[in-house]
Amino acid sequence: MSDIHPTAIVSDDAQLGENVTVHPYTLIEDSTKIGAGCKIGPFAVVRRGTILGENCEVHTGAVLGEPPQDLKYHGEDTYLIIGKNNLIREFVTLHRATGEGEATEIGEGNLIMAYSHAGHNCKIGNHCLISNDAGISGHVVIEDYVNIGGKVGIHQFVTIGTMAMIGGMSRITRDVPPYCLVEGNPAEPRGINVRGLQRHDVSEESIAALRRAFRLIFRSDLNVSQALAKLEEEKETLVPEVQNLVDFLRRVGGGFRGRQANP
pLDDT in tens, 33-91: 999 999 999 999 999 999 999 999 999 999 999 999 999 999 999 999 999 999 999 99
Quick check: is 174 in a domain?
A: no
Quick check: is 259 in a domain?
A: no
The strand pairing partners of 57, in sequence order, are 39, 87
Mean pLDDT on 209-217: 97
Q: What does 175-231 look like in DSSP terms, one character per residue?
A: -B-TTEEEEETTEEEEEE-HHHHHHTT--HHHHHHHHHHHIIIIISSS-HHHHHHHH
Q: Global pTM? A: 0.95
Angle at 210 between CA 137 and CA 175, to 5 degrees: 15
**How many domains does the chain divide into?**
2
Claim to verify: residue 202 and residue 114 sit in the same structural domain: no
Claim to verify: residue 39 and residue 128 sit in the same structural domain: yes
Quick check: is 65 in a domain?
A: yes
Mean residue pLDDT across the chain: 95
Claim to verify: residue 29 and residue 96 sit in the same structural domain: yes
> In which domain, by residue range, is 42 found?
3-139
Asked if residues 68 and 96 have their Cβ atoms less than 8 Å apart, the reply is yes
Quick check: is 218 in a domain?
A: yes
Claim to verify: residue 102 and residue 23 sit in the same structural domain: yes
